[in-house]
Structure 1
Amino acid sequence: MSSLADFQPKVAIVILNYNTRSLLERFLPGVLETNYSNKEVWVVDNASTDDSVEFTKSHFNEVRLLVSEKNLGFAGGYNWALDQIEADYYVLLNSDVRVTPNWLKPLVDLAISDKTIAAIQPKILDAKEPRMFEYAGASGGFLDKWGYPFCRGRVFDSLEEDAGQYNDAIDVFWASGACMFIQADLYHKARGLDADFFAHMEEIDLCWRLQRMGYSIKVQPASEVFHIGGGTLAEGSDRKYFLNFRNNLFLLAKNSSSPFWLFLIIWRMVLDGISAIVFLLDGKASLVITILKAHFAFWMSLGSVLKKRKLIKELGNSKVYLHPDSIVWQYFIKKKKKFTDL
């Protein structure tokens, strides 16, 4: 008679690729060597212009391949692919993530122990400095009342060294899209990632919806992966800033349950304005224009956002916990740079 420990649900590890052939060559072999029998490894090509598809076909016969004719973005690319992939659980895995041989089993074990867990992320460390937490997720993500994301191990740009201080598996607000383990049926019930985000913060938006549906999000630090970051969009690029500022407004307007959500949006824009002044003083005038473009794009999309806000209410109305303090105030004024100081 098989035990729960022997049970292996089917897991589809899905890597979205856009012009990252060198990263596939470097990291895909490790994914294939994962110690877990009931898995499939998929590469979803987002209309790459390099030789990613040909390289994958010729070097990795065991990898399943989907090729999109156009770049659908991170969110749209995953939605398109996962509509075609059958599994009990999906892992959304960036192409610039190095995994360890036993990274998957702790995620599976935690997931099957409680069906109210919708999504889980592993501990995410820096591939270049493995002792340090990595920006995109660290040891689990949170969100403050003004919509600023932060992590155990990373507050704004301050990254902590991993000394085992965040090794407990706990509830978090969001699981990183760099490596997100998620129940397949719930992914679809929650209507997947919002393709209008294109990239950045769409995983936070999805996790918010899942929590409103009554499910939890976890981090499982017994699983470790190592992330490079900036594999598709370069760090500090105007495009990345545009997506972050615009999508943060999308996130709040869609999901906030406050009757004063419009005030929240206006106040967040004021805070963005302060960021613009800082950028200007730092000689980064182009980013001031980027923030203005992001705000304009938000207002131009408001009709669509309001329709989504109405649809989200139909998914559920379970209470969602936001960090009650302002991370901006805590970090920049009170100089609290570590998660444990907040």
Structure 2
Amino acid sequence: MKKVSVHIVTYNSDAFIVDCIESVMKQSYPIDRIIVVDNGSRDQTRQKLQEYREVVTTIYNQDNVGFAAGHNQAIHMAESDYYLVLNPDVILHPDYVYHLVQTMEADSGLGCATGKLVFKQSPDIIDSTGLSFTKSRRAFDRGAGQTADLCENKGYVIGVSGAAALYKKKMVQDVSIEGCFFDEDFFAYKEDVDVAWRSYLFGWKAFYCPQALAYHDRGWKKGARRQMPIRIRRFSYINRYKMIIKNDHWIYLLRHLLPIVAYEIPGFIYFLIKEPKVLGAWWDFLLKFGSLLRKRREIQGKRRISFREVYKFFE
């Protein structure tokens, strides 16, 4: 039987972490290890984790090192065949892991899989069935907002949301760049999208399995963008450009120039007028530019499939 470890990164997650861990412990498929990385929580998260110290391996970081670095810590500690990357605000159906392992074991080309994620408050509405990309280089949760019973068809997707993603160890090792699966230059936001794009370039497939069900209580609701800390809004904004530098191809950037420009110009005007502080993220981009180019060379040097095969997923 293949070993599965579950990895959770927390940051002020005391409202969710108990239900999340309990749902992991109730999985019908045996879980080899639960690893929680706490990024310097200031609420009651650490106290609640202490209640599970006999069944959960916990890493306590002094500061918030980010989602990407936190999960890389867990990956480096794990010794399993599969890693379930899980948000603390997700509750798994008892058969979630079972269905995903069965799916991935049936297809050796699969590097990752996701189940049907629905909103906890509205379980008849889809949160995510994977990822989708547009020609404007935007990424969305596939199926988000649709009625759940309309998303019953399993199939290949370009990637999976990091909220409840099962990754194969072999793929994680294969696509890691400079020893990291998730790019720590991203800190948080879109690191799962970056992994999806990179993994597809390397020839790995992703799959959506609707039989696996999970409930997601998103921390930032639609319309609450202004409540997000400026630092997080900056990462959410600039990480898209980091992905483009690392993974994109100039020929397809030119082919898709119209939808890109149609998105970029209104977007830049919006930030310039409404959220000018977000544009300060370009300083971080410039500081990281050399690192991004270095990673790009490694990624493109290891690419195994044609760009035509990749861009067929860009809608």
Aligned with 1:274 (options 253, 266, 270): 266
Q: CA deviation at 1:105?
A: 0.7
CA–CA distance in 1 between the matches of 2:161 and 2:81? Answer: 19
> Which residue of the partner structure matches residue 108 of structure 2?
115
Q: Paired residues, what number?
A: 305
CA displacement, residues 294-336 of structure 1 (integer Å, 9 cap, x when unaligned) = 344323422221111101012223134335776xxxxxxxxxx
CA–CA distance in 2 between the matches of 1:196 and 1:207? Answer: 16
Helix, strand or coil at the partner of 2:311: coil
1:168 maps onto 2:146 in alignment: no
> Which residue of the partner structure matches residue 89 of structure 1?
82
> Which residue of the partner structure matches residue 136 of structure 2?
146
Aligned AA for 1:249? Answer: Y
> Which residue of the partner structure matches residue 184 of structure 1?
169
1:106 maps onto 2:93 in alignment: no
> Which residue of the partner structure matches residue 334 of structure 1?
none
Aligned with 1:257 (options 238, 249, 253): 249
Aligned AA for 2:10? Answer: N
Quick check: 1:241–1:287 contact (8 Å CA) kept in 2? no
Name the TM-score, length of structure 2 as normaliser.
Answer: 0.87
Name the TM-score, length of structure 1 as normaliser.
Answer: 0.81
> Which residue of the partner structure matches residue 2 of structure 2?
9
Quick check: 1:276–1:287 contact (8 Å CA) kept in 2? no
Quick check: 1:144–1:322 contact (8 Å CA) kept in 2? no
Runs (5+) with no aligned partner, structure 1: 1-7, 327-342
Q: Aligned in 2, Cα 1:199/1:301: closer, same or farther, shift over 3 Å?
A: same
Q: Aligned in 2, Cα 1:36/1:231: closer, same or farther, shift over 3 Å?
A: farther
CA–CA distance in 2 between the matches of 1:189 and 1:70? Answer: 29
Quick check: 2:115–2:212 contact (8 Å CA) kept in 1? yes
CA–CA distance in 1 between the matches of 2:164 and 2:59? Answer: 19
> Which residue of the partner structure matches residue 311 of structure 2?
322
Quick check: 2:135–2:260 contact (8 Å CA) kept in 1? no
Helix, strand or coil at the partner of 1:226: strand
Superposed, 1:282-293 pairs within 5 Å as 285-290=273-278, 292-293=279-280
1:196 maps onto 2:191 in alignment: no
> Which residue of the partner structure matches residue 3 of structure 1?
none
CA–CA distance in 1 between the matches of 2:281 and 2:304? Answer: 29
CA–CA distance in 2 between the matches of 1:212 and 1:260? Answer: 14
Q: CA deviation at 1:235?
A: 4.5
Helix, strand or coil at the partner of 2:7: strand
> Which residue of the partner structure matches residue 227 of structure 1?
216
Q: CA deviation at 1:45?
A: 1.3
1:34 maps onto 2:27 in alignment: yes
Q: Percent identity?
A: 24
Aligned AA for 1:113? Answer: A
Runs (5+) with no aligned partner, structure 2: none
> Which residue of the partner structure matches residue 242 of structure 1?
234
CA–CA distance in 1 between the matches of 2:197 and 2:139? Answer: 12
Q: Aligned in 2, Cα 1:263/1:116: closer, same or farther, shift over 3 Å?
A: closer
Aligned AA for 1:173? Answer: I
CA–CA distance in 1 between the matches of 2:253 and 2:286? Answer: 14
Helix, strand or coil at the partner of 1:304: helix
Q: Aligned in 2, Cα 1:178/1:311: closer, same or farther, shift over 3 Å?
A: same
Quick check: 2:68–2:191 contact (8 Å CA) kept in 1? yes
Helix, strand or coil at the partner of 1:83: helix
Aligned AA for 1:216? Answer: K
